[in-house]
Amino acid sequence: MLKKTTSSHWGSYYAKVKNGKLIALEPYEKDLDPSLISEGMIDAIDDDLRIRKPHVRLGWYKDYLKEFKQNEKFALDRKRKKRGNDEFLEISWEEAIEIVSYELERVKTNFSNKSIFAGSYGWASSGRFHHAQSQLHRFFNCYGGYVKSVTTYSYAASETIIPHIVGMSYRKFLDEHTDWESIARNTEVILMFGSLPLKNSQVTSGGVGFHTTRLYLEKCKKNKVKFFNISPTNMEADKLVKADWIKIRPGTDTAFMLALAYILVRENLCDNAFLKKYCSGYDIFKDYLLGNKDGVKKNPKWAKKITGIEEKTFYKIVSSINNKRTLLTGSWSLQRQQYGEQPHWMVVVLAAMLGQIGLPGGGFGLGYSAENGIGNPVKNFKWPALNQFKNNVSDFIPVARYSDMLLNPGKKFTFNGSDYKYPNIKLVYWAGGNPFHHQMDLSKLTKASFKPDTIVTNEIWWNSLARYSDLIFPTSTNLERNDIGFRHWEQTVSPMHRAINPIGESKNDFEIFSLISKKLGFNKKFTENRTEMQWLEFLWIEARNLAKKNNFYLPSFREFWEGSFFEVLQPTHDQILLEDYIKNPESSPLSTPSKKIEIFSKVIDSFNYKDCPGHPSWLEPKEWLGAKIAKKYPLHLISGQPENRLHSQLDNGKHSQKMKVKQREMLKINPLDAKQRNLKNRDIVEVFNDRGACLAGIKISDEVMKGIVYLPVGAWYNPHKNENFCIHGNPNVLTDDIGCSSLSQGPSAHSTLVEIKKWKKDLPKISVFNLPVINKKIK
């Protein structure tokens, strides 16, 4: 039996192989809390849904052949509206490369590179070289450029607002979070806004060496750190640390924090010296807080009507944190809602009022437990990566505006203080991403997907994206290629040895783009005449040189490749967010206009956005439990990350499937809400609003408060009769595709109201795990 080291976004493993078949993934021995997501790979890696050969959509192909013969500039209809339901034709690699090359040249020649969108979300492979996004962008930059996306679905609102407040790029901000060792030793109270989602910490983009979040939470508990969980849910980490659960209406965290701030002012508990020395614009915010301009005092009585929390609870929390080393944490889920910039901004402001930013175990953090790596004790180091070259196309979109881009070419949109126009996209190329998982309002996305002339995808399985594509290249998994496991926020480094041969005729992204670039005449520029192994050695040599400059040792490439997992970059001291600035504000000023923490931002105020004013404010969302529409749709839907897969990856695997209820995604509902609707465990229900509906299986649980339902994202989209009805349980048929605000244009999935009722009709059969109709020859 062979045993190969490998890495994934959810952990490090030894791949066990027998007779060329993967039979097990054994966790790295230093991982004391390994993720079971890996179990899904064992059966999925060679299941019936693997795409084994190149395919072309039949309706697209027939029109393409006519255009090719006549050398047409403009594409015919290509049966675009059959995307998602069409038949496919198996073709050779030679023909597939010929087709995509012709189509790229047609679009570039007749419409320019500004009509090509290259989509990738970076979660395809944890390996450094076979990083799908890097390969895709390098290819298109060699070809003259492409329309790109900026920001993320994970934290778009936060990553747009935080640089305005503390003057850091968001990556640097996350890199420099106060580490868990400092928290466990020094923190006395943690206020968790949105909880600490332990299931999310199974993963880190770029790979996990060994899981640490649960271990550090247990250490905090042992050291008697007091936790408050201000959240509509009480799961995993919240129970582990025995947090006091403050049940809050979703979307009202800003109002809650404003009331706490009000008490701090009225009871003279603010650190005014800190606010004066290290912050800018506090007096303007204070006027708003006290109601000096709008006549509304943001006190606990006011906040009670919004949050549903009793006035005495606000005073209890202030009493609990007074004269205590306190850490405020905000989950990324807080900002995936309408006006999502406000709660994260307010976390910073509230921490500033307490005056403990930059102190061991104090201050704030945004995203602890969202990924395993955030707060990990590790010496920061930037590992070498594949050079993507320069993009000569300046056009871009905020990533969550993908549907709007396809539906509204030429329409204006605002982003971070400037106005732009959506490009006119003719060709979309996806590698390492799935908009049918990430994008809000899948009915709208479906309509948007009918617009481009061509959609090309490098894909492993016949998921929703593959079915809505025109040309599909079969792509290998991380277990079918060689790579290097460099992990940011982690100390572990390892070779990633190919464990099994590629399934069918699948190839890695580097091989695919090498073939296309050869056909288009720039193979030498794209590959630099290096093979896969030569690239790995090249990146390793770069890493060794950088390591030497940063005073740590890496072995020769041969020693490394013949070895296994090992650790580097052990920290020499605790990392504390903004410590240098607090110690030396003159020599280490922030890169904000005021050189200080911006409680009021003149820059943001100058944008004149009604949906994102110059200081954190309570802005009433369109959908929340205090809105009029809540009478029609009285349940607030939270669509968080699943515990049994990464996003939609491996939903076809047994580990994900075994948690389904009658093959539908499981929905958690409070016992009182279930009783009111005469529901019992394992009932199938219809979850619906004006945008769409889906089916889900009930689990009655006290982990969600009354008025809340929890339906994880990631169920493969399985529309039935209409594109806005998913019989499998994908919550994004229900979510609204609107930006958080004019500033970030981020996703606002958590501002969603629904109703549910028991499904009494025959259950439609799940079809997304069946192969589409595939032809060997053209009809």
Say whether 343 sits in a helix, a strand or coil. helix
Beta bridge partners of 246: 230
d(CA 232, CA 637) in angstroms, rounded, equals 11
> How many C-beta atoms surround the C-beta of residue 591 within 10 A?
11
d(CA 503, CA 575) in angstroms, rounded, equals 44
- Which H helix or E strand runs over 17? strand 11-18
Is residue 122 exposed (0-12), middle (13-18) or buried (19+ Cβ within 10 Å)? middle
From residue 695, give the alpha-carbon distance in Å to each of 292, 301, 754, 759: 49, 39, 12, 8
Active-site annotation holds for 170? no
Q: Are 177 and 368 contacting, i.e. CB atoms less than 8 angstroms apart?
A: yes
Q: Are 565 and 12 contacting, i.e. CB atoms less than 8 angstroms apart?
A: yes
Q: What is the residue-wise DSSP string for 190-243? A: EEEET---GGGGG--TT--SS--HHHHHHHHHHTT-EEEEESSB--HHHHHTT-
- Which H helix or E strand runs over 294? none
Q: Which two tokens stand for residue 222?
A: 């042992």
In sequence order, the 6+-apart residues with CB closer than 8 A to the CB of 214 are: 33, 198, 201, 237, 240
Active-site annotation holder among 13, 28, 121, 422: 121
Give the number of residues written for the chain.
Answer: 779
d(CA 414, CA 417) in angstroms, rounded, equals 7
Q: Which two tokens stand for residue 546?
A: 């950088």
Exposure on the CB side of residue 515, measured as CA atoms within 13 A: 15
Nearest 5°: the CA angle 103, 105, 109 is 125
d(CA 467, CA 373) in angstroms, rounded, equals 34
Amino acid at site 584: N
Active-site annotation holder among 10, 61, 123, 710: 123
Q: Which two tokens stand for residue 624?
A: 């929340």
Beta bridge partners of 150: 398
Active-site annotation holds for 121? yes
d(CA 298, CA 304) in angstroms, rounded, equals 10
Active site residues: 121, 123
